[in-house]
Amino acid sequence: MNADVSRAPDSSDSGYNFAYLDERTKRMIRRAILKAVAIPGYQVPFGSREMPLPYGWGTGGIQVTASIIGRDDVLKVIDQGADDTVNAVNIRRFFTRTTGIATTERTVEATVIQTRHRIPETPLQDHQIIVYQVPIPEPLAKLEPREAETKMMHGLAEYGLMHVKLYEDIARYGHISTTYDYPVMVDGRYLMAPSPIPKFDNPKMHMNPALQLFGAGREKRIYAVPPYTKVESLAFDDHPFEVQRWEQHCALCGAKDSFLDEVITDNDGGRMFICSDTDYCGQRRENLAAVPANVAEAKSA
Amino acid sequence: MSSTLSGTMGGAMSVTAAVQVRDLGKTFTLHNQGGAELAVLHGVSLEVRRGECVALDGPSGAGKSTLLKCIYGNYRTTQGSLIVGEGENAIDLATASARQQMAMRRTTVGYVSQFLRAIPRVSALDIVAEPLMEDANGDPDKLVAARRAAETLLLRLRIPVRLWSVPPATFSGGEQQRINIARGLIRPRPVLLLDEPTASLDADNRITVTAMINEAREQGAAIIGIFHDQRVRDSVATRVVNMADFK
Amino acid sequence: MSEQDQPILRVEALSKRYGDRLAVDQVSFDLWPGEVLAVVGESGSGKTTLLNCASARLLPDSGRVDFLTRHEGVVDVYRLSEAARRLLARTDWGYVHQNPADGLRMDVSAGANVGERLMALGERHYGRIRQEATQWLSRVEMQEDRIDESPATFSGGMRQRLQIARNLVTRPRLVFMDEPTSGLDVSVQAKLLDLLRTLTHQLHLASVIVTHDLAVARLLAHRMMVMKDGRVVEQGLTDQVLDDPQHPYTQLLVSSVLQP
Ligand SMILES: Nc1ncnc2c1ncn2[C@@H]1O[C@H](COP(=O)(O)OP(=O)(O)OP(=O)(O)O)[C@@H](O)[C@H]1O
Ligand SMILES: [Mg+2]
Ligand SMILES: [Zn+2]
């Protein structure tokens, strides 16, 4: 972690403001967030600040979180569904040092969840805010490099090009092969990149009670999905949207309905599938511990 | 001059004459030859009614083909008026819009030029059928009928069946001329312009073409033609006009 | 047919200036349904600029462009909203670029290139899009089994065919073409010309074709317009202009080629 940040354990006398950003910057970002909430799915430009972290670490999400977080908030940070990866640990530590607020690994306890690559399996509540770290906010970027043109396409809701991409998938692989950052229409108006979450998580965005905020630091864009907003994954009538499914259950908790990671267990090609959401998996195991029969069943599966 | 003539458009003359040429002048200005002026036609006046066949006579270079090209709208006139068609369909080529001229070619005037301009990759049959196919507007029955009519003409003009599907670019002079005649005659039109239609034909085909010209005239076409062959001229012309008379 | 009674495109006094150079100077013309108009002239005479201004791809400095829509009568193209203009451009209009790479998406398959306009219009059935694309490939005389190949692997002639199919899939009534056959081998060029001739005819397409090749004009166009220094110096039926050119510049143009 950056040495400057580690010297700022408490905001009062550290030389840093609460949550690192100065109040003017936060107000500027909050204005962008308000605009984003007012126009669901629309990418609002904002004056992205240099953060004491490299861009790949999710500086867009961090700036959003820093702008909305208050002293009473409880923060959860996940990366690939886990609270204990280097990235998640560092971001959590960053906020602990610059705000002194409480953190948690429990989805249900958090008021603000910053995430990269996943939406928690535990359904979010209407008092929660989820902040996504976004590397490439423009869903059309790979198809249409001219920014003026993609802006025009958003302005006029000309989104045929996105289906060209899905058409290509089917022509090439027989099915829509896009599995991450799968494009969605927000509130029937704006095409949006949901950030590199698996398409498995797309249905969770739809009519979600929580406020969903997206921050792209390098690309200087903020966008949002307000609570209870329609989020539809694009597809063809004869190739409907489908989420990933697994033959296996989670080897640890037996879950059949969660996103599973494949883990190599030894050098002989041994492998198993476990929940990518560590909190979800842990909670299930805790609950199941009270019912030993089920645990035995899950382990034998 | 032309102002008084345009007054005749709806008058009695235009009802009877399918072509009225009045004081027509055609001068070529060769800008790249120091602006040399070539006055080819001067003071040409001519009226041709339906059922008439006028043969243009005169030495080589007298302007016979030029006159036909003016009447077809291929050359632009420099003076006078040139009214083609009857009644409502009559237009003065000296002032007509491009669109009117195109309509005139479609409905009123057929032109058999001295040489066939082949279209790459289009078969002889389709070149002949094209004027009728344009009228068909995509109607499949009419398209079939157009091809039928083309086949009938090609048979009559002794074009071997094996050539029908071949683009005529490689045909002999006589074969090309017959394709050109078939194309010019397939759609009956009130005015027919023929520039030496039999020049490269053998005796049998010359007789066939002569018969076809007479049939067109009997069916009511006003025909203006250049026929170097005395026998052909004698058997088709109802009147001979010498270009020298205009000078 | 009342459609036949008015021009499908009416261009009035279009002018476009680049700096102090007047690229297009007060050009007007009418185009009728099903009519092909060739615009000829030496390079730099303003042909492409005129084409782009007439097709609403380049904002002219002055002048106006009226288009006879299918259902809503005549519209002033430059008064339409941007959205309506773009919709028009990808439904009832086509634009064929000289360089096919400018008119194609080189990184997606032939099928997706042809299907794009359909998808833009809201077609959401993969099977139907594919079927339509297949039909159009065969219509432009391309092998149907190349539908999944990238145009990057195609020859120049095939790319141009693909570009044409991509434009025609929505059955436009007006197609703008900028030197559609130049840059191709002579034999390839001849086949493409033949295809264009057949398609414009069969589909009753109105078309403005920019070309410096008088033979192309002779073969495809009903009418032609000769441009020099941004102005139209001569216009008329194609054979009139070619066989009896009036303007010194046209005479020079015609005399410098063999039998256009
Ligand atoms: N497009 C043209 N440009 C310049 N001069 C032309 C053009 N067409 C014809 N001429 C000239 O006009 C004159 C008349 O030519 P035209 O072809 O009308 O003669 P003609 O009477 O048909 O002769 P022939 O009996 O030899 O066919 C000739 O001097 C010819 O060179
Ligand atoms: Mg002659
Ligand atoms: Zn689990």
Let me know: does C117 contact C91? Beta carbons within 8 Å. Answer: yes
What pLDDT, on a 0 to 100 scale, did the predictor assign at position C186? 86
ipTM summary value = 0.90
Assign A266 a pLDDT band (cuts: 50, 70, 90): confident
Cα–Cα distance between A267 and B27 in angstroms, integer?
97
Chain B neighbors (3+ CB pairs < 8 Å): C
Binary contact (A164, C105; C-beta < 8 A): yes
* Rounded Cα–Cα distance for residues B163 and B186 (Å): 18
Residues C185-230 have pLDDT tens digits of 888 888 899 899 989 988 999 999 999 899 999 999 999 999 999 9
* C237 to B138: CB separation less than 8 angstroms, yes or no: no
Give contacts of C255 with chain B, Cβ < 8 Å. Answer: 32
Q: What is the pLDDT of residues A190-204, one digit of tens each?
A: 999 999 999 999 999
Q: Rounded CA gap, C161 and C164, in Å? A: 5
Mean pLDDT of B209-225: 97
When CB atoms are compared, the residue of A155, A156, A171 closest to C112 is: A171
**In what order do the strands lie in the sheet containing B91-92?**
B36-49, B17-30, B79-84, B91-92
Which has the minimum average pLDDT: B4-13, B42-51, B82-91, C141-150?
Answer: B4-13
Report which of A252, A277, A273 is spatially closest to residue A200, judged by C-alpha positions.
A277
* CA distance linking residue B146 with residue B157, whole number of Å: 17
At which residue do the structure tokens 């001295």 appear? B114
Rounded to whole angstroms, the Cα distance separating A223 from A242 reads 25
Cβ of C243 within 8 Å of Cβ of B120? The answer is no
Confidence grade of residue A15 (pLDDT, cut at 50, 70, 90): low
Its pTM stands at 0.87
Q: By percentage, how much of chain A surpasses pLDDT 70? A: 91
Q: Measuring CA to CA, which residue among C126, C110, C119 is closest to residue C91?
A: C119
Separation CA C32–CA C142 (nearest Å): 30
Residue B34 in contact with partner chain C when CB distance is under 8 A:
no
* Minimum distance, in Å, between the CA of residue C229 and any CA atom of chain A: 32
DSSP conformation letters of chain B:
-HHHHHTTTTSHHHHHEEEEEEEEEEEEEEGGGTTEEEEEEEEEEEEEETT-EEEEE--TTSSHHHHHHHHHTSS--SEEEEEESSGGG-EETTT--HHHHHHHHHHTEEEE-SS----TT--HHHHHHHHHHHHHTT-HHHHHHHHHHHHHHHHHTT--GGGTTS-GGGS-HHHHHHHHHHHHHSS--SEEEEESTTTT--HHHHHHHHHHHHHHHHTT-EEEEE--SHHHHHHH-SEEEEGGGG-
**CB contact (8 A) between residue B98 and residue C248:** no
What subunits touch chain A, counting only 3 or more CB pairs under 8 A? C
Measured from the alpha carbon of residue A288, the closest ligand is 3
What distance in angstroms lies between residue A281's CA and the mean position of ligand 3's atoms?
A: 4
Dihedral angle, C-alpha C198, C201, C207, C213, nearest 10 °: 40
Q: Report residue C184's pLDDT band, with 50, 70 and 90 as the boundaries.
A: confident
C-alpha span between B50 and B217 (Å, rounded): 7
Residues by chain with Cβ below 5 Å of ion ligand 3:
A 250, 252-253, 255, 275, 281
**Pairwise CA distance, residues B5 & B92, whole Å:** 9
Ligand 1 nearest-atom number relative to CA B63: 18
Residues with CB under 5 A from ligand 2 (ion): B 65
Q: Does C21 touch chain A (CB under 8 A)?
A: no
At A213-238, the pLDDT tens digits run 999 999 999 999 999 999 999 999 99
- Interfacial C residues in 13-72 facing B (CB < 8 Å): 32
Q: Which residues pair with B53 in a beta bridge?
A: B223
At residue A264, the pLDDT reads 87
Could you tell me the distance, in angstroms and rounded to a whole number, from the CA of residue B41 to the centre of ligand 1?
10
What pLDDT was estimated at residue A3? 34
**Three-state SS for C10?**
strand
Residues of A in contact with C117 (CB under 8 A): 160
pLDDT (tens digit per residue) in C82-124: 999 999 999 999 999 999 999 999 999 999 999 999 999 999 9
Which of B32, B74, B119 has its CB closest to that of C251?
A: B32
Rounded distance between C-alpha atoms, residue B81 and residue B18, angstroms:
14
What is the residue-averaged pLDDT of chain A? Answer: 90
Q: Which two tokens stand for residue C94?
A: 């086509």
Q: What is the mean pLDDT of residues A99-128?
A: 97
Say if CB C54 and CB C9 are below 8 A apart: yes
Give distance in angstroms: CA of A81 to centre of ligand 3: 11
Of the candidates C105, C111, C119, the beta carbon closest to that of A163 is on C119
Computed over every residue of chain B, the mean pLDDT equals 90
Predicted pLDDT at C258: 67
Is residue B190 within 8 A of residue B50, CB to CB? The reply is yes
Give the residue numbers of A marked as catalytic.
41, 250, 253, 275, 281
